[in-house]
Amino acid sequence: MEMDTPAGRNALDAAARGWVGKPLDRVDGRPKVTGRAIYAYETMQGPATAYGYVVEASIGKGSIVSIDAQAAERAPGVVLVLTHLNAPAQGQGNHHEAHPVLTGPEVAYYGQPVAFVVAETFEEARAAAYLVRVRYDRAPGRYALRANLDRARAPRVASADSAVGDFDAGYAASPVRLDEIYTTPLQSHAMMEPHATLASWDGDQLTLHTSNQMLNQGRQAVARTLQVPVEKVRLVSPYIGGGFGAKLWVNADAILAAIAARQLSRPVKTALTRQQVFHVTTHRSDTIQRIRLGADQEGRLQAIGHDSYSGNLPSEPTFEAAAMQTRTLYAGANRLTRHRVAPLDIPVASSMRAPGEAVGLLALEIAMDELAEKLDLDPIELRLRNEPREDPERHVPYSSRHLVACLQEGSRRFGWAARSPRPGQVRDGRQLVGMGVAAATRGNPLELSRASVRLGPDGVATVRMAMTDIGTGTYTILTQIAADMLGLSPDHVRMEIGDTAFPQASGSGGSFGAASSGSALFDACDRLRAKLAAAAGVDPGAARFADGRLEAGGQSRALVDLVGASGVEADGEIRPGETLKAFSQQSYGAHFAEVGVDVDTGEVRLRRMLGVFTAGRILNAKTARSQAIGGMVFGIGAALEEGLTLDPRFGFYVNHDLAEYHVPVHADVPEIDAIFLPELDDAANPLKSKGIGELGICGAGAALANAIYNACGARIRDYPITLDKLLGALPTQS
């Protein structure tokens, strides 16, 4: 199936039991809480398994002069020490295409693997790793983004910049103008499960039990790196303990374990320590963003300009696309967005939850708040006055857009009318209290996915696809789709995912996982329905599936009687098509936050928070709300706490553990709420759903920043908003 035209009324709309949308409990919940859900590092391969430990480079830039592994090789239990001197040749490519390791003496960034020690136990491998002696020739490195803006260049993609109308003229002619700089810090994914892999070879066939979000893409990268046919590589990842983008790509753990396992002819298992994750894997780049807004006296935007700078290794194509949402969110005739990326000698920058929008909206939605103040206009009213009728850059209709409804419903529920427009006017004890608002938007992509479904003689439907579940509820929503389409109860659906031996799937990332994999499953089930209807001798369009039976033309047949002794199977597929070009597709929402700022210390406490969203058909009310709240908590961290501290002398992250890299804890998060307004988007996919996983973070932090300003009058444009930045801006107390 290709999405060339909007989906009409289909079998899911007419589903008899309506499992889709209900708050069904997680079908993978019981295995997880009872310990039967096996993650990558927990996979057992027998007593022959050896254990690896990564040795990281302790310089930021330079080369290895000598590496002495003799003491490590003589240490108890050690069976192999890999370095660039004995590692095999590997295929090359950027981080998206391949992940070669130990390929030469050059050190590109701090923490780059320079050796891999393999021993009979993890403890022996770790102890021996400290015996590897490496001498370096240090070279000058370029580490800090701000210090290297003069080297920033346009990314090597056509979509990096956009221009509509004449921004310079429109901005110059605007009677009300804003021109400000906003910055966001380096961030780490900080997911619960560190990267881990168990590698084993059976002849020339490699199997990796690994923590990876996009298995088919990972399979290609492993094959290219190891220079083996892709059909000789199998990735297995049925359960993943979070990713947020850190596991989109193959990392050093997988390649090192595979190389060592091949050389030793035995399974090799490795896991990165929490501290190693920060340097050995990816992160979100920091950004420096300039936003210029020009408006008439009524608050209608005449000019919108957004310039964003980020950094990455010179070999990498990824840039933080922080200005992308600015192209679609608000109306305005004259528009300019530009991205520049500076080559830096620090670990790879890559996708992190809601790449682009997560940090872009931190800037844009403060800028809108500042413009509203210049206009003496309510921030919600400013946004309403700039609601576009079509995509203002592509000039195509929106597939669905209900941002206005989100803002209005959120305003009503949150009590926005009680907000004081003047900062510093509301006090509760030692706290100055303020409210803030921000819009949310996130793109809605669709990716190629395939699925197979087999209805057996026992009445159980088995679904197979190389989809992953990173804790978002994939097992559950796919179960609900199959149950609705085939008229089964959820306990008669068996999900088998997370294995490249199954049909290709999109994987989890970019908020495309549910729509892509779910649409492929929809198509497979629709084809299976047609086969069952043919077996019953009825028109598929007239068939009704419910309670394990097919009903049509006055007859009712049990599905188990139609499938026979061997069962019936069907394959399905979804491909993006013309609807992506014909419509502008995004999810939307509005964040509302109330904060208290201590009048003496500047300590910020979130008091309450609400998110109101539209995301097409909601596939599971419970998991959708959980995803939205999780994103909002992510936004709290971005606003108040999160940030990697880079030592600009050595390219080293000082706070490379969860003791010093701060994320929200229970004390930081009061009871917050997220609601979804009814919506169907028939141009998005046959499910008529949109992505949710990243929408909750988009704009959330800006709502807090705006609330802080409303509380105390301190306008902080440098995230995170910490005490040191607030103290000097607090009003003097009498």
Edge-to-edge strands, sheet with 555-558: 544-546, 549-552, 555-558
Is residue 573 flagged as an active site residue? no
Distance CA 574, CA 445 (A): 12
Please calculate the CA angle 266-268-273 and round it to the nearest 5 degrees.
Answer: 170
Give Cβ neighbours of residue 44 (< 8 Å, ≥ 6 apart). none
Tokens of 233: 């590589």
Overall residue count recorded for the chain in this entry: 734
Closest by CA to 730, choosing from 611, 632, 606, 596, is 596
Burial of 34 (0-12, 13-18, 19+ CB in 10 A): exposed
- For residue 398, give the DSSP letter: B
Burial of 85 (0-12, 13-18, 19+ CB in 10 A): middle
Place of tokens 């909002």: 632
C-alpha distances in Å from residue 294, one per residue of 80, 105, 175, 514, 715: 63, 52, 7, 39, 20
Distance CA 198, CA 429 (A): 56
**Residue 185 C-alpha from the chain's centroid:** 17
Give Cβ neighbours of residue 380 (< 8 Å, ≥ 6 apart). 407, 408, 411, 416, 437
Tell me which of 56, 320, 370, 694 is the catalytic residue: 694
Distance CA 497, CA 517 (A): 10
Distance CA 240, CA 8 (A): 35
Closest by CA to 354, choosing from 710, 628, 560, is 628
Distance CA 430, CA 708 (A): 15
Task: Specify the 3-state DSSP secondary structure of 306.
Answer: strand
End-to-end CA distance of the chain: 69
Task: Specify the 3-state DSSP secondary structure of 405.
Answer: helix
Distance CA 176, CA 298 (A): 10
Catalytic residue numbers, as ranges: 694
